[in-house]
């Protein structure tokens, strides 16, 4: 039986997900609940329908095809009852205004490979490849292993973007087929990490040390969120300076652009209001550089 993956989307010409021009495959499901999450559609495992009300043109096509009457037209106005939605995707395929999008579509490795290889020429010219991301892609470790293995058979560069809050076995599955791990680090202090993400960081730190011990190539990414983890940079620098296979560190500036995504999937967001200043980001970079780390700017 073909292995299936629950997919969020495929993003082409990505330039921040590893070296060169890349195609990034986003998979659904994540064990963390980061207060600043900018991909809320990737948190839950079940399928979710995104509805952007401002894009709806009131054509009524969705109401015609919906088997559960989650979509209804009343006096020319579209009404969506999310509690009735079963995630079949019929409405998305007929939506003329692109107001509807289904997250969590299942695809086999055989279906995905032609899409992932479509930009092979750009990979070869730029030193790029394919990156698996999420959500947390390694929550679907079996699918990731199969996809990465197929990519390596095609001699495509591979990267795995992970939060590290996964079973050790998941890392072991993909390690032979992954050229670089893009590893998120949110905090060193466990209490801070719990406040930011809802879970302990013990497994994350242990898995980071494990990958380094396995001589895996690692790029660490630090989301910088004022009033949440901005006081953790020094502690993170001390942890990272002990890694032998760290290729570099990126400080990622928190942004709040994702607020509309929460509304579209029927979630209430609690994203922080304060954004980092360039001075704060530069101070963070200098703190990391002060212990000899290579900061990717």
Task: Tell me if the bond preceding 205 is cis, omega within 30° of 0.
Answer: no
Residue 2 has what pLDDT?
A: 85
Among the ranges given (55-59, 164-168, 269-273), the one the predictor scored with the smallest mean pLDDT: 269-273
pLDDT tens figures, 84-138: 999 999 999 999 999 999 999 999 999 999 999 999 999 999 999 999 999 999 9
Rounded Cα distance, 229 and 188, in Å: 9
Enumerate residues 6+ apart whose C-beta is below 8 A from 137.
25, 26, 27, 144, 160, 161, 162
Segment 184-196 shows an average pLDDT of 98
Domains detected in the chain: 4-46+106-289 (3.20.20.70), 48-103 (3.30.70.20)
Helix pair angle (141-153, 109-116), 10° resolution: 50
The total of other beta-carbon atoms located within 10 Å of residue 266's CB is: 14
Rounded to 10 deg, the angle between the 278-289 and 233-240 helix axes is 30
Is the pLDDT at 61 greater than 90? The verdict is yes
In 3D space, the residue among 39, 43, 40, 50 whose CA is nearest the CA of residue 17 turns out to be 39
Q: Work out the average pLDDT over 218-243.
A: 98
Cβ(107)–Cβ(117) under 8 Å? no
Is the pTM of the predicted complex or chain greater than 0.85?
Answer: yes
Q: Is residue 1 scored above 70 in pLDDT?
A: no
């Amino acid at each position: 039986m073909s292995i299936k993956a629950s997919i969020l989307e495929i993003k082409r010409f990505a330039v921040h997900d590893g070296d060169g021009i890349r195609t990034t495959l986003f998979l659904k499901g994540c064990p963390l609940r980061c207060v600043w999450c900018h991909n809320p559609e990737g948190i839950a495992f079940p399928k979710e329908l995104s509805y952007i009300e401002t894009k709806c043109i009131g054509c009524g096509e969705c109401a015609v095809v919906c088997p559960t009457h989650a979509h209804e037209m009343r006096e020319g106005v579209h009404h969506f009852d999310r509690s009735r939605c079963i995630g079949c995707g019929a409405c998305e395929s007929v939506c003329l205004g692109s107001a509807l999008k289904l997250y969590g579509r299942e695809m086999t490795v055989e279906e995905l490979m032609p899409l992932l290889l479509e930009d092979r020429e750009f990979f070869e010219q730029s030193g790029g490849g394919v990156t698996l991301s999420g959500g947390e892609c390694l929550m679907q470790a079996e699918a990731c292993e199969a996809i990465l293995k197929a990519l390596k058979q095609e001699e495509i560069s591979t990267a795995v973007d992970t939060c590290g809050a996964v079973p050790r076995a998941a890392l072991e599955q993909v390690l032979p087929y992954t050229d670089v791990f893009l590893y998120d680090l949110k905090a060193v202090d466990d209490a801070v990490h719990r406040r930011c993400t809802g879970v302990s960081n013990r497994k994350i730190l242990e898995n980071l040390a494990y990958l380094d011990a396995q001589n895996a190539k690692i790029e660490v990414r630090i989301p910088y969120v004022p009033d949440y983890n901005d006081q953790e940079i020094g502690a993170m620098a001390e942890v990272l300076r002990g890694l032998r296979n760290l290729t570099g560190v990126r400080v990622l500036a928190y942004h709040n652009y994702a607020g509309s995504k929460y509304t579209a999937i029927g979630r209430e967001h609690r994203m922080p209001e304060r954004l980092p200043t360039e001075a704060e980001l530069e101070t963070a970079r200098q703190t990391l550089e002060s212990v000899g780390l290579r900061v990717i700017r």
